[in-house]
Amino acid sequence: MRYLTYSFIVFCSLLLTSTNLHAQDSLEYRRPVEYKVAKTVGDFPFLEYGTGQDRLGGAKLTFLDTGVVLNIIDSVGSRYKVRLSRLHHAFIPKNKVELTGGSLSGDDISLTKSWYVSGDEDYDYVRIALDKKLSYRTMQQINPNRIVLDIFGATSNTNWITQLRSVEEIKNVYHEQIEEDVFRVVVELNGKQHWGYHMYYEGNSLVMRVKRHPEQFKMKNLKIAIDAGHGGSATGAVGSTGAMEKEYTLLFAKELEALLDKKGIETVMTRTEDVDVSMTERLTQLLEEDPTILISLHLNSASRESAQGVSTYYRYIGFRPMTEHILDRMLDLGLNEFGNIGSFNFSLSGPTEYPNCLVEIAFISNKEDEQRIMDPKFHKQVAKQIYKGIRDWLKASKD
For the chain, give the percent of residues with pLDDT over 70: 90
What is the structure's pLDDT at 58?
86
- Kindly report the number of other CB atoms within 10 A of residue 213's CB atom: 20
Instruction: Using the 3D structure, point to which of 211, 246, 273 is the last residue of a domain.
Output: 211
What phi and psi values does residue 237 have, to the nearest 5 degrees? -75, 155
Q: Is 369 a domain residue?
A: yes
- What's the mean pLDDT in 368-385? 98
pLDDT tens per residue, range 142-153: 999 999 999 999
Do 232 and 368 reside in the same domain of the chain? yes
What is the structure's pLDDT at 74?
95
Q: What is the dihedral of CA 170, 171, 177, 183, to 10 degrees?
A: 0
- What's the mean pLDDT in 101-127? 86
**Which helix (H) or strand (E) segment is 228 a member of?**
strand 223-228
Do 171 and 85 reside in the same domain of the chain? no
Closest CA to 298 of 343, 336, 346: 346
- What's the mean pLDDT in 363-376? 98
Do 338 and 195 reside in the same domain of the chain? no
Do 224 and 114 reside in the same domain of the chain? no
CATH of the domain at 68: 2.30.30.40
Q: Is 84 a domain residue?
A: yes
Q: Is 271 a domain residue?
A: yes
Do 165 and 242 reside in the same domain of the chain? no
CB 196 within 8 A of CB 397: no
Q: 259: helix, coil or strand? A: helix
Q: Is 328 a domain residue?
A: yes
For the chain, give the percent of residues with pLDDT over 90: 86
Q: Is 27 a domain residue?
A: no
Do 258 and 151 reside in the same domain of the chain? no
What is the structure's pLDDT at 188?
98
Instruction: Using the 3D structure, point to which of 61, 86, 105 is the last residue of a domain.
Output: 105
What is the structure's pLDDT at 57?
83
Instruction: Using the 3D structure, point to which of 105, 128, 151 is the last residue of a domain.
Output: 105
pLDDT tens per residue, range 61-109: 999 999 999 999 999 999 999 999 999 999 999 999 999 977 666 567 8
Within 109-221, strands assigned E span: 110-111, 115-119, 123-129, 136-141, 146-152, 154-155, 161-163, 170-179, 182-189, 197-202, 205-211
Do 254 and 365 reside in the same domain of the chain? yes
pLDDT tens per residue, range 149-176: 999 999 999 999 999 999 999 999 999 9
Do 223 and 337 reside in the same domain of the chain? yes
What is the structure's pLDDT at 103?
65
Do 89 and 130 reside in the same domain of the chain? no
- What's the mean pLDDT in 280-287? 97
Query: Where does the pLDDT of residue 312 fall: very low under 50, low under 70, confident under 90, or very high at 90 and above?
Result: very high
**pLDDT of 19 over the 90 cut:** no
Q: Is 28 a domain residue?
A: no
**pLDDT of 23 over the 90 cut:** no
Residues 6+ apart with CB under 8 A from 262: none
Do 60 and 153 reside in the same domain of the chain? no
Question: How many domains are contained in the chain?
Answer: 3
* 2 vs 183: which has the higher pLDDT: 183
Q: Is 347 a domain residue?
A: yes
Q: Rounded to an integer, what distance in angstroms lies between the CA atom of residue 262 and that of residue 210? A: 30
**pLDDT of 15 over the 60 cut:** no
CB 127 within 8 A of CB 81: no
CATH of the domain at 251: 3.40.630.40
Residue numbers of the domain that contains 359: 219-398
pLDDT tens per residue, range 30-67: 344 567 999 999 999 999 999 988 778 889 999 999 99
Q: Rounded to an integer, what distance in angstroms lies between the CA atom of residue 248 and that of residue 113? A: 53
Q: Is 373 a domain residue?
A: yes
Residues 6+ apart with CB under 8 A from 295: 224, 225, 226, 227, 256, 326, 356, 357, 359, 386, 390
Do 155 and 285 reside in the same domain of the chain? no
Highest mean pLDDT among 6-15, 97-106, 131-140: 131-140
**pLDDT of 10 over the 90 cut:** no
Query: Where does the pLDDT of residue 222 fall: very low under 50, low under 70, confident under 90, or very high at 90 and above?
Result: very high
Rounded to the nearest integer, the mean pLDDT of the chain is 91
Do 193 and 254 reside in the same domain of the chain? no
For the chain, the first-to-last Cα distance in angstroms comes to: 86
CATH of the domain at 154: 2.60.40.3500
**pLDDT of 317 over the 80 cut:** yes
pLDDT tens per residue, range 187-201: 999 999 999 999 999
